[in-house]
Amino acid sequence: MSIIVDGTGSGYRAAVDSENRLKTDAIVEDAFVHAAEEGKAFNINTEAMPISGTGPFEELLLYVKNNETSDLEVVGWFIGEKGNRTGGDTTSPILFTMYGNPTEGVGGVGGNNVAVVNRRIGDARTFNVDTLSKPSNLTLSGTPLLYQYHYSGRAFGTVNFTIPSGQSIALSATFACDSCELYTGFTGYLRS
């Protein structure tokens, strides 16, 4: 017979019920919440971007590359549109498409730097992640990771995908209109 005894020296023994279940008192929390408490959760937001072209056209919106040694777990994706579509077809939805590991051109990826914000207010930890809005010098190929139609306003959804160390994603959108203004981004955490 084995007995589980308190390892702190108090001599308490573990309680077991009549169905042979060990009695516990535990606090259960989501991995994302725990990572936020530890200063390992992040938010990536392009902020408002004016988009223009001649619809229909595809525009690269966001590039994220993980330079950490640990995986990035992306748990949420958000989209917001100002509601000022003009020209072309202004009523059809925008088609968002995400690709894994776009091919970088010679000289690296260009674009506008996007902040990776620590979700633990005041925490000094930074994330070794390349994030660019309106990225350039990328070739999208392979099977897309996801498609999402967006009609208007703001949307948030759970996506749950992993960006391993050295891997990247790119998000594009296909517009039927000629111009609009929107933002997009992700929330997630660095796996311990």
Distances (CA, A) of 69 to 76, 128, 168, 182: 21, 9, 13, 32
Closest CA to 190 of 73, 37, 59: 73
Q: Where are the domains of the chain?
A: 31-190
pLDDT higher than threshold 80 for residue 43:
yes
Residues 6+ apart with CB under 8 A from 19: none
Distance CA 179, CA 187 (A): 27
Convert the pLDDT of each residue in 155-168 to its tens digit: 999 999 999 999 99
The pLDDT tens digits for 166-177 are 999 999 999 999
How far is residue 20 from each of residues 1, 14, 100, 188, measured CA to CA in Å? 13, 11, 47, 38
Residue 125 has pLDDT above 80, yes or no: yes
76-87: average pLDDT: 93
pTM of the model: 0.87
Place 181 in a pLDDT band, splitting at 50, 70 and 90.
very high
Whether the Cβ atoms of residue 179 and residue 87 lie closer than 8 Å to each other: yes
Looking at domain 31-190, its CATH architecture is: Sandwich (2.60)
CB 127 within 8 A of CB 116: yes
pLDDT at 9 over 80: no
What is the average pLDDT score of the chain?
A: 92
Calpha distance 30→35 (Å, rounded): 9
